[in-house]
Structure 1
Amino acid sequence: MTSLDIAKQYYDSFNRKNWQGMLDLLAPNVRHEPNQADEPRIGIEKFTEFLQGMEDAYEETLTDMVFFSEPNDTRVAVEFVVNGIYKKGEEGFPVAHGQSYVLPAAAFLEIKEGKINRVTTYYNLTLWIKLVS
């Protein structure tokens, strides 16, 4: 399976809410670099905690996905639109009451030996706050 195939499977699992399917594609020491975070999350356990928080606070589906890969078959970029509902507020963010939002975003994945070693996600946090406020 190519890196592009792995990335597509990862995001297909996301859209189907198949969290275990996503986790199965990650390297044990995956580095998750979320947007606006002070420190990356390292390891499957930290990523699992992140997914649980996402499940609790947001209902999201990704659309308009465009994937890009490079010749060495180790990195994939994906551009997408996040279609979401803000279900549960998080500290430092606006109060949640079911607000919907549509937000452009992108992610970069590093894939080695058939596993995702790094996930870096970018979106405009200021715009997201404006959309849910």
Structure 2
Amino acid sequence: MTQNARDTIQRYFDAFNAGDADAMLACLADDVAHHVNEGQLRNGKEKFAEFCAHMGRCYKEELTDMVIFADDSGTRAAAEYTVNGTYLQTDEGLPGANGQTYRLPAGSFFTLGGGRITRIVTYYNLADWMAQVSE
């Protein structure tokens, strides 16, 4: 079970790094709960797809230094990684974008069921990101 959870999370992040939102969605349960850092809870694949489209317009990111953890039951997992990004288009309420690059540590927590991700919680230091893109 632990390896299945790790494999699912790895597929999800491989799809993220490839910019393949459809492959990311394939890893998710239809009623996925997506808790975004400093943002609103998004429920369901449709809301997640909208989030991915928005992120793809505003940011180009690659996740490196990935370490994935899973519990023995395969129902809970976590990942720690480094976000390497470029700020492409100004995101509402944030500093103006002009191609600034950033690098920051981040992590995600997952619940899994039926071979799919049912909950995603992502954390990073928004103040660190703001300082990097405001320089």
Structure 1 portions without partners, runs of 5+: none
Letter in 2 for 1:27: A
Shift of 1:83: 0.3
Q: State the number of aligned residues.
A: 132
Partner of 1:51: 52
Structure 2 portions without partners, runs of 5+: none
Partner of 1:76: 77
Shift of 1:90: 1.1
- After superposition, the C-alpha distances for 1:44-98 in whole angstroms (9 at most, x for unaligned) are 1100000000000000000000111111110110000000000011111000000
Alpha-carbon distance in 2 for matches of 1:57, 1:70: 34
TM-score by length of 2: 0.96
Partner of 1:22: 24
Structure 1 vs Structure 2: percent identity of aligned residues? 44
Alpha-carbon distance in 2 for matches of 1:15, 1:91: 24
C-alpha root-mean-square deviation of aligned residues, in Å? 0.8
Partner of 1:114: 115
